[in-house]
Structure 1
């Protein structure tokens, strides 16, 4: 009896476009990198290596901007600036209290009030639009 041992599957060669596609899929909100890696037949270590390379601009494109977090601080109510009432919006007394309500004061003075049920992608678009003005 002769046992023939052949070499395993050849190493796969991934193009820069394929790497970008896989990494961007793994970076989507709610995506699980381990599942993305399994679906594409790669290890998570390779996926994270490609992610680092993409963020550093090693795929022939400018570096991808790394998401940043906004600094949040809570001031006591007495220290908060009084914002003049806006006649186009209902008064604070007329707005029902919402559980999980947040007020986001932007550097330009705009205030965005959202509830806990706000859609994250919609809020990002609003904040991006207000930040670019």
Structure 2
């Protein structure tokens, strides 16, 4: 009987993809957590903080993102013991007519010297901090995204 075990063992060792003979069984020692309504509200409100992502919050609390998104839906519907909350919406965008530079005498500067003549496809993005980004129709989207992220960071 020992000879057969040695032959089988030698056979499996000679293969590169041989599996280990040790099997580890991991049992779950704890039950599912029961989350109170207050805890759910706390966790959901953490996902709404500036710079927070639902994935980071879920990892921090040791829960799955699917459960977190379910709680967020319940939160917005008012099912977590608070009045319904309107879901976040996109920012309102208004298109303004192009601004033509004012005619000024040659010896006086223009009212806004940073205003260039309007061209087709040109965009002007006014950021909350007061910065203004003007781009043409041929701007690279990835480059614009990097600039906007850099301007938004403190």
Check whether TM > 0.5. yes
Unaligned 5+ runs, structure 1: 81-91, 104-111, 121-133
Note the aligned Cα RMSD (angstroms). 3.7
1:115 pairs with 2:136:
no
Hey, what's the Cα distance between the residues in 2 that align with 1:28 and 1:68?
Answer: 16
- Cα distance change on mapping 1:75 and 1:44 into 2, 3 Å: same
Quote the residue 2:75 is aligned against: 54
Hey, what's the Cα distance between the residues in 1 that align with 2:129 and 2:29?
Answer: 58
Quote the residue 2:45 is aligned against: 24
Hey, what's the Cα distance between the residues in 2 that align with 1:31 and 1:8?
Answer: 31
Q: Tell me by how many angstroms 1:39 deviates.
A: 0.8
- Superposed, which structure 2 residues align to 1:2-81 within 5 Å? 8-77=29-98
Hey, what's the Cα distance between the residues in 1 that align with 2:52 and 2:88?
Answer: 16
Q: Tell me by how many angstroms 1:118 deviates.
A: 7.1
Name the SS for the 1:77 alignment partner.
coil
Q: Residue deviations 1:14-46, cap 9 Å, x none?
A: 111100110110121211211110110100000
Unaligned 5+ runs, structure 2: 1-24, 101-109, 116-123, 133-150
1:33–1:44 CA contact under 8 A, matched in 2: yes
Q: Tell me by how many angstroms 1:101 deviates.
A: 5.6
- Cα distance change on mapping 1:48 and 1:61 into 2, 3 Å: same
Aligned residues: 96
Which structure: larger Rg? 2
- Cα distance change on mapping 1:41 and 1:113 into 2, 3 Å: closer
Q: Residue deviations 1:54-74, cap 9 Å, x none?
A: 000001211112222233132
Q: Residue deviations 1:61-103, cap 9 Å, x none?
A: 111122222331323326x9xxxxxxxxxxx82x6749x6629
